[in-house]
Structure 1
Amino acid sequence: RCATEYPICNNCEILGFTVVPQAGYTEVRMGKNATLRCALTEPKEVLQVTWQKESEESNENIATYSIANGLKIHEPYKDRMNFTSLELNETSITFWDSRMDDSGRYKCLFNVFPDGSYSGSISLSVFGLNASVHHESSEDRFIVTCNAHGLPEPTITWNNLFNSTPTEETVKHKNGIVSITSRLEIYNIQSISARDLTCRVSNTNETVELPVKIKGGRKSYLHPLLSLKSLHIGLLSKREKKARLIS
């Protein structure tokens, strides 16, 4: 009965009661506050409450509270997360200005005397979209790279390909966030008149447009041999002027 009613409780069958999260899954928009709550189903002598962020390697302590030692917020959560309930049988933490990398699975642990530890888990998803674009140019090509980082999964499109085919790389992170990099190489840029290029990044919640100004027709490149020749002529001119002054 216990395992069916509280499937996210780690040890309810053994202990005879449960840790009940406010919700097994919480979703907020990036930049908003995110609150996670857990409570025991019956009062116990709780010595300390600990919150952890779970990972495959190890669970990271992010916050602890006890009457004896007070509260402690661990780096890198200090100054942007705190306890919003200091009851030992009922605990809550709040992320201020939540970030997408706050997404993941969190565990609340109640250290109870004399029984030991009771725990429950909550999944947090912070959805949003971050995007950036940068470019570099050489004598014969113009390379534009557009990066997207979002939840839900973003897509990248270009408003103009200039007869080129973009390459794309996708990385799906364990916390659900997806990173995409799209790279567009444009050749023969001298033949391109001044035109606008836009990287469009979108997911189911929002769209971001990042313009890149291409001024291929106005770019001028000085050939290395021409540069050396110009320098040689300049040196000769200086010598001629010096010779005239001496004579």
Structure 2
Amino acid sequence: PLQKVTSYFVLVQTQQTVLAAVGEDAEFSCQLLDTKDVLQVTWQKISRDVETNVATYSKYYGQRVNDGFNDKVKFKYTGLQNCSIVIRNVTEQDEGCYHCLFNTYPEGSFTGRTCFQVYELHEPVVDVRESNSAEEWVVSCSATGRPAPTVTLSQQHLSFSQYNTVSVSNTNATFTVTTTAVLSGSRKHSTQVGCAARVLSAPHREVMETIPEVQKTSVGGEKLFLYTTD
């Protein structure tokens, strides 16, 4: 039997999710895709199911940012069919979902919804130390962020083994994640190891560390390992 499929047209175009790092600015934009008689555009913040009016724009009264948001929110573009706001210097308290309402007559309101998440990610730190074997190094990388970052190691020419990852919860709601691995292989040339840290779908942060080449020689029957850089 044929199934009845109900299709509908989304009248308000907006971002489903917005990510921003602590201290950055975040932009929210909404566009009404069908021409309507819009009287006012209203922005609301939804937190714990409580709706709070943030700002409004109307043809007759212009822009208005509500009390409590004056130092936080500004309009970037104002129009009755297309409107955008910027949240400045974002913090964890700015997280939540935001609605843009195109208030029309006589049809009522058309609403768009954007959910906002603030993240934190500090530059990763790489540590390289010798193991008991001349052809092995222990490489570890730590990164702190919120939510817990994903930390990955990369290398040129050689191979990693014995991966281990530990996550520690900090008192300020961040997490420090450390990934450790053994780098092995004949190092006739210097090589680079990299560490990349990522939170959610935000851009990753990466650092590189150069491990020098090893030259073997012998003095008085004893083997010495000389570490040189290119």
TM-score in terms of structure 2 length: 0.51
Gaps of 5+ in 1: 5-12, 131-148, 155-169, 171-179, 183-199, 207-247
Q: CA deviation at 1:2?
A: 10
Stretches of 4+ moved more than 4 A in 1? 1-4, 203-206
Identical pairs, percent: 32
Q: CA deviation at 1:74?
A: 1.7
> Hey, what's the Cα distance between the residues in 2 that align with 1:36 and 1:109?
13
Task: Report the counterpart of residue 146 of structure 2 in structure 1.
Answer: 151
Asked if 1:48 corresponds to 2:43, the answer is: no
Letter in 1 for 2:176: S
Q: CA deviation at 1:18?
A: 1.1
Q: CA deviation at 1:41?
A: 0.9
Q: CA deviation at 1:56?
A: 3.1
1:152-191 superposed matches below 5 A: 152-153=147-148, 181=171
SS of 1:37's partner is strand
Structure number with greater Rg is 1
8 Å Cα contact 1:17/1:42 also seen in 2: no
Report which of the two has the higher share of strand: 2
Aligned pair in 2 of structure 1 residues 19, 201: CA closer, same or farther (>3 Å)? closer
Task: Report the counterpart of residue 176 of structure 2 in structure 1.
Answer: 202
Task: Report the counterpart of residue 57 of structure 2 in structure 1.
Answer: 65
Gaps of 5+ in 2: 123-143, 150-168, 178-196, 200-230
Task: Report the counterpart of residue 90 of structure 2 in structure 1.
Answer: 98
Deviations 1:39-64 (A, max 9, x none): 11112111000011112342111111
SS of 1:181's partner is coil
SS of 1:54's partner is strand
For these two proteins, the number of residue pairs brought into alignment is 138
8 Å Cα contact 1:104/1:125 also seen in 2: yes
8 Å Cα contact 2:53/2:66 also seen in 1: yes
Letter in 2 for 1:26: V
> Hey, what's the Cα distance between the residues in 2 that align with 1:99 and 1:126?
7
Report which of the two has the higher share of helix: 1
Task: Report the counterpart of residue 18 of structure 1 in structure 2.
Answer: 11
